[in-house]
Copies of this chain bind each other. A is one copy, B any other.
């Protein structure tokens, strides 16, 4: 969906360049989301072929990053953007870094399956917990990208707060992995895998949170990293009045 808030320059080519930066970011993000979805499916259903595919396709996400990075650099050099255009380019530059890391984390999840020893599989309850956490993370990422695309600080703030639930999921899965290791030494290797996959998902939550911060910066012109929840609320409220 094209964003109506971008553009309005005398130069239509310039408008298109800015629009394209966001569109390519969204394409890149869609690919990273697909990678993450596939990695989770592969891990929870022990689909080795799919895991191999995720590993092989990582390069596509990386290529997007380099391509968009160069596109943004080109806009900065030739157009010398100011105000909201400059913020747009910088927010895209920062976001591709986060999306690239999400692609990396999907690859890490796929590799966790590929390294798994054939005779040991996690318990269904562990896989279910991971799958549920994964769904939450994917939804958060999806909403973070929508908030960015819509340049909606209010929505971005709401999504950013979802990260707490994901951190809690991680703590719970880690605790459960530790318990099952202690109960049964044969579970150690597989429980380490589970905790590593959960950690990767928790990191995707952090990167989604970063994307929300970039959306708030894009919308309000304020760098809001490291602000407390109350401070964030104040920044967003202040600009609404």
Contacts and interface: CB of A to CB of B under 8 A. Distances in A.
A100 B80 CA distance: 27
Contacts of A90: 73, 76, 93
Contact of A65 (B181, B182, B226): B226
Nearest to A203: B203
A183 to B, nearest CB: 9
Given A59-B226, A189-B178, A76 B70 contact: no
A223 B70 contact: yes
Interface string A67-85: 0011001001100101100
A77 B83 contact: yes
A86 B82 contact: no
Contacts of A97: 94, 97
Band of interface residues on A: 20 to 34
A41 interface: no
A226 B182 CA distance: 40
A19 B62 CA distance: 31
A234 to B, nearest CB: 16
Given A80-B80, A82-B77, A178-B192, A66 B223 contact: yes
Contacts of A195: 192
Interface string A177-190: 01001100100110
A225 interface: yes
22 contacts: A59-B226, A62-B226, A65-B225, A65-B226, A66-B223, A66-B226, A70-B223, A73-B90, A73-B223, A76-B76, A77-B82, A77-B83, A90-B93, A93-B93, A94-B97, A97-B97, A100-B225, A178-B192, A181-B181, A181-B188, A188-B188, A192-B195
